[in-house]
């Protein structure tokens, strides 16, 4: 027991002891109801590290008294999947509930590995529970995703994190033997970033460094201890989200030196090349945008190229793309525009499409005015004809606002020429 990490020793075994994720497992919450009913469908738990994905999977299996198999996508292949499925098939007798197969980091499985799960999930040989830190829409194949419910887990809040610390001090077989005083908690919370496992690692590291059984935890002591033990503290890559944040903000802030440095940190840390390339693709649209539309094209080419090439050569392609994005002019006008439009839709509801721009495939539709008075833009000088395209209730709403960069300055000039001061 003493050789286990604190986070493992403290892992809850029932929903009543599970801290956080009230929206899923609190009283009358959707996942709790499903578990209590005794019927659980295949599902994917999506959320950041250290929020209880693995713990929740184990609790489900324990509560439902199901056989529990676990695979890690990092070191398991198709052969391992087939072996588990064969074991599950051998247990199908006397109406015994089907086993649960838990796959950690399912986003790292290839298409062929995910394909090998389909039949067993579809015919009920196994109930799949996948855990992922990445958006399943990008990383899980559609046929498998369509057979699973997706539940989003959130970072733990301050109250939840501190409850875990107090529980550890009071209940853990090792810590409860010491007299621990938590004088300050800001440094622990800051270093944890909402990750319960990281928080318990910090607590264990600080307590283990004290020779006396009397331990007073302060912000300075936590900071000093982590600076001395940073390599050990982050040996499982727990700074993943901090480094990707620094990487993105460096590119957004137009600092190529910092951007390439953080890229190197990710490469040296063994970060998945697909993860980096996908972030660059998103950033090209979100932060460079219309100030330099070629950025999206280069990011797409980078995404395709590094998939084909892989490390170590992919580092050169990534570096070129990172420097290009960091040194490009920046605009988030497209990002702001779609968010504004979505908010407008939520606010105004399903407004009717103006009659003159509706489709009119039948005679009746034409008779009642569908498509009437529509102006075909290409039939007019300059391929433009002024007419209204928004519902009349929001006719004067401005959604896209060109920003001050050479490319969008030209866009604004074009819009003013077409629409005049009435619109722009």
Q: Per CATH, which fold does 158-233 belong to? A: Helicase, Ruva Protein; domain 3 (1.10.8)
Question: Quick one: pLDDT at residue 228?
Answer: 61
Where are the domains positioned within the chain?
A: 20-152, 158-233, 240-327, 352-422
Chain mean pLDDT for the chain = 86
Whether the bond between 105 and the residue before it is cis, its omega within 30 degrees of 0, is no
Question: Quick one: pLDDT at residue 24?
Answer: 92
Nearest by Cα to 14 from 40, 38, 32: 32
Q: Which helix (H) or strand (E) holds 351?
A: none
Least-confidence region, from 43-47, 108-112, 303-307: 108-112
In this model, does residue 265 exceed pLDDT 90? no
Question: Quick one: pLDDT at residue 275?
Answer: 87
Confidence of residue 235 (pLDDT cuts 50, 70, 90): very low
Structure tokens at 204: 């264990």
Task: Give 234 or 358, the one with higher predicted confidence.
Answer: 358
Confidence of residue 267 (pLDDT cuts 50, 70, 90): confident
Q: Quote the percentage of the chain above a pLDDT of 70.
A: 95
Task: Give 240 or 187, the one with higher predicted confidence.
Answer: 187
Residue 1, burial from CB neighbour count under 10 angstroms (0-12, 13-18, 19+): exposed
Top-level class of domain 240-327: mainly alpha
Question: Quick one: pLDDT at residue 240?
Answer: 67
Least-confidence region, from 9-18, 31-40, 364-373: 364-373
| Rounded Cα distance, 307 and 108, in Å | 13
- Contacts of the segment 167-171: beta carbons below 8 A, 24+ positions apart: 167/10, 167/19, 168/6, 168/10, 168/200, 168/203, 169/203, 171/10
**Region 391-399: what's the mean pLDDT?**
88
Q: What are the φ/ψ torsions at residue 129 (nearest 5 degrees)?
A: -125, 115
**Region 275-293: what's the mean pLDDT?**
94
Least-confidence region, from 233-237, 249-253, 321-325: 233-237
Q: Quote the percentage of the chain above a pLDDT of 90.
A: 30
Q: Per CATH, which fold does 20-152 belong to? A: Rossmann fold (3.40.50)
Model confidence pLDDT, tens digit, residues 51-109: 889 999 999 999 998 889 988 877 787 888 888 888 888 776 666 778 899 998 888 88
Domain 352-422, classified CATH 1.10.3710, yes or no: yes
Q: What is this structure's pTM?
A: 0.60
User: How many residues comprise the chain?
Assistant: 424
């Amino acid at each position: 027991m003493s050789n286990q990490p604190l986070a493992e020793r403290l892992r809850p075994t029932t929903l009543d002891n599970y801290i956080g994720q009230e929206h899923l497992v609190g009283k009358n919450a959707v996942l709790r109801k499903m578990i209590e009913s005794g019927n659980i469908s295949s599902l994917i738990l999506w959320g950041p590290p250290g929020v209880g994905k693995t713990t929740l999977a184990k609790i489900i299996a324990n509560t439902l008294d199901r056989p529990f198999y676990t695979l890690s996508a990092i070191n398991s292949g198709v052969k391992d999947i087939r072996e588990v499925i064969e074991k599950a098939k051998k247990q199908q007798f006397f109406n015994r509930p089907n086993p649960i197969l838990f796959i950690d980091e399912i986003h790292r499985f290839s298409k062929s590995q995910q394909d090998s799960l389909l039949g067993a999930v579809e015919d009920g040989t196994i109930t799949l529970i996948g855990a992922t830190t990445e958006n399943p829409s990008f990383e899980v194949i559609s046929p498998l995703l369509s057979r699973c419910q997706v539940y989003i887990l959130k970072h733990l809040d301050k109250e939840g994190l501190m409850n875990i610390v107090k529980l550890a001090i009071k209940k853990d077989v090792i810590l409860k033997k010491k007299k621990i005083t938590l004088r300050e908690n800001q440094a622990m919370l800051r270093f944890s970033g909402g990750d319960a496992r990281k928080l318990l690692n910090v607590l264990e590291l600080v307590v283990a460094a004290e020779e006396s059984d009397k331990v007073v935890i302060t912000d300075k002591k936590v900071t000093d201890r982590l600076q001395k033990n940073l390599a050990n503290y982050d040996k499982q890559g727990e700074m993943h989200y901090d480094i990707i944040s620094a990487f993105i903000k460096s590119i957004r802030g137009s600092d190529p030196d910092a951007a390439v440095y953080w890229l190197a940190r990710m490469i040296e840390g063994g970060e998945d090349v697909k993860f980096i390339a996908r972030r660059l693709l998103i950033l090209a649209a979100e932060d460079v945008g219309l100030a330099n539309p070629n950025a999206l094209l280069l990011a797409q080419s980078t995404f395709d190229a590094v998939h084909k090439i892989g490390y170590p050569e992919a580092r050169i392609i990534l570096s070129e793309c990172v420097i290009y994005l960091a040194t490009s002019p920046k605009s988030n006008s497209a990002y702001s525009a779609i968010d504004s439009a979505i908010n407008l839709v939520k606010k105004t509801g399903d407004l009717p499409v103006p009659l003159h721009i509706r489709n009119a495939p039948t005679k009746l539709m034409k008779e009642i005015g569908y498509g009437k008075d529509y102006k075909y833009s290409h039939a007019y000088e300059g391929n433009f004809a002024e007419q209204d395209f928004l519902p009349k209730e929001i006719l004067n709403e401005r959604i896209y606002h060109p920003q001050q960069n050479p490319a969008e300055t030209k866009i604004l000039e074009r819009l003013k020429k077409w629409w005049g001061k009435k619109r722009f």
